[in-house]
Structure 1
């Protein structure tokens, strides 16, 4: 289906900015916008991982392999170091 839409200047700028930032075509940006709006309005269930990823909540880091075992001790030592400096 072909759609012809009239956008005011502000919305046209926003659309162009989204295209520039994402490297997607206007058609692709509008498809994504429709999908998201549809999901929002129909109460379509969302996957938690998608929500976290979209909001940059999922990341990665590096730590000592034994951190999961020793984290309480390391946290206590770190807090002790901080409180000792301020006494």
Structure 2
């Protein structure tokens, strides 16, 4: 099986997604699915962005990191969209 070479931005996006999933595991069991589906929806909504649109991707990465930092707070127990 050949390894797929990913660009730096692609690696950053995957890293952010994995971080989101890791944070989901720290939330109360009853609300984990809300966090997981929120993260998945956010990434799916932006899947159509051209991979050469670096400005948009970098903006979304910054936005995603800020959201992750906010939702990772221990005081946040549930999320609803």
Could you say which structure has the higher helix fraction? Answer: 1
Using structure 1 for the length normalisation, give the TM-score.
Answer: 0.26
Look at both structures and tell me which one has the larger radius of gyration over its CA atoms: 1
Using structure 2 for the length normalisation, give the TM-score.
Answer: 0.28
Say which structure, 1 or 2, has more relative contact order (CA 8 Å, 6+ apart). Answer: 2
